[in-house]
Amino acid sequence: MEAVLLLNANQQPIKVITWQRAVCLLLEEKVQLVKAHADRLVRSTSGIVLPWPAVVALKVFVRLSQRARPQVDFKRRNVLARDGYECAYCGVRPRTTSGLPDVRALSIDHVIPLAQARNGKVYLPWARKEVPQTCWENVVTACLSCNGRKADRTPEQAGMKLRAPPRIPTHIDVVRILIARVGVPEEWKGHLGQGAFSC
């Protein structure tokens, strides 16, 4: 997939789309071209020639509802990306020698451990609700050291502090997750906000 960054009309990143979808939106005049890949063109069979899109922006601002959050598959790699490859307990961000996140030094941790689940559910005191034992709201990224130290206890029982409660991914998290999958093309730099998408 040749990914294209889709911005809202206020220049906030909201989605990563395929280049084909971006071209359709350009032809329908729903978006404007913000940045194109240099020396690359899209040619249609009808003779239309367009710059190959890298970043496009909606012409009309779209309010993103918190209730209608985008769906992201619940997978280890997506949890790590949502949390910015940072341990939810000590804040460490392990790196490989090339500077990329060292995913082998990270794990996912059930904040309320599986050992304390009842009928496949756990109670989240910070949210005051019961949720499935393995879900976005009960799983965080943890370094191997913190995960081993916490073991099958809650952070409170282990004498540890959770830096922020886990959450269902927001639109920005979804962009971060997709960027973690496709990387950050040079053309996207400057359109991703102040370090919010550093991996």
Q: Clarify whether residues 180 and 119 are in a common domain.
A: no
CA-to-CA dists, residue 188 to 18, 46, 49, 134, 185, angstroms: 14, 29, 22, 34, 6
Tell me, yes or no, whether 51 and 85 share the same domain.
Answer: no
User: Residue 162: which residues within 8 A CB-CB, separation 6 or more?
Assistant: 88, 89, 111, 140, 155
Other beta carbons within 10 angstroms of residue 123's beta carbon come to: 14
User: Are 84 and 114 in the same domain?
Assistant: yes
Same domain for 80 and 8? no
Tell me if 166 is assigned to some domain.
Answer: no
Residues in contact with 21: Cβ distance below 8 Å, sequence separation at least 6, in sequence order: 4
pLDDT band at 194, cuts 50/70/90? very low
At 197, the pLDDT band (50, 70, 90 cuts) reads low
Answer yes or no: do 84 and 58 share one domain: no
Judged against a pLDDT cut of 90, whether residue 192 lies above it is answered with no
- Asked if residue 196 is part of any domain, the answer here is no
What are the start-end ranges of the H helices in 8-154? Answer: 19-27, 76-82, 144-150
Residue 71 lies in a domain: no
Locate 133 and state its tokens.
Answer: 């034992």
Range of the domain at 119: 76-158
Which H or E run contains 114? none
**Does 104 lie in the same domain as 145?**
yes
Identify whether 60 is part of a domain: yes
Domain assignment of residue 122, yes or no: yes
Q: Are residues 89 and 30 in the same domain?
A: no
Q: 46 and 98 in one domain?
A: no
**What is the residue-averaged pLDDT of the chain?**
89
Query: Are residues 57 and 103 located together in one domain of the fold?
Result: no
Say whether both 97 and 154 belong to one domain: yes
Cα 106 from Cα 77, distance rounded (Å): 10
Per-residue pLDDT tens digits for 83-103: 999 999 999 999 999 888 899
- In which band, very low, low, confident or very high, does the pLDDT at 68 lie, cut at 50, 70 and 90? low
Residue 177 lies in a domain: yes
Instruction: Tell whether 50 and 110 lie within a shared domain.
Output: no
Count up the domains in the chain and report the number: 2
* Res 13: pLDDT: 87
Q: By C-alpha distance, which of 82, 94, 88, 83 is closest to 142? A: 88
Asked if residue 187 has pLDDT above 70, the reply is yes
pTM exceeding the 0.75 threshold for the entire prediction: no
Tell me the Cα Rg of the chain: 20
CATH code at position 115: 1.10.30
197 belongs to a structural domain: no
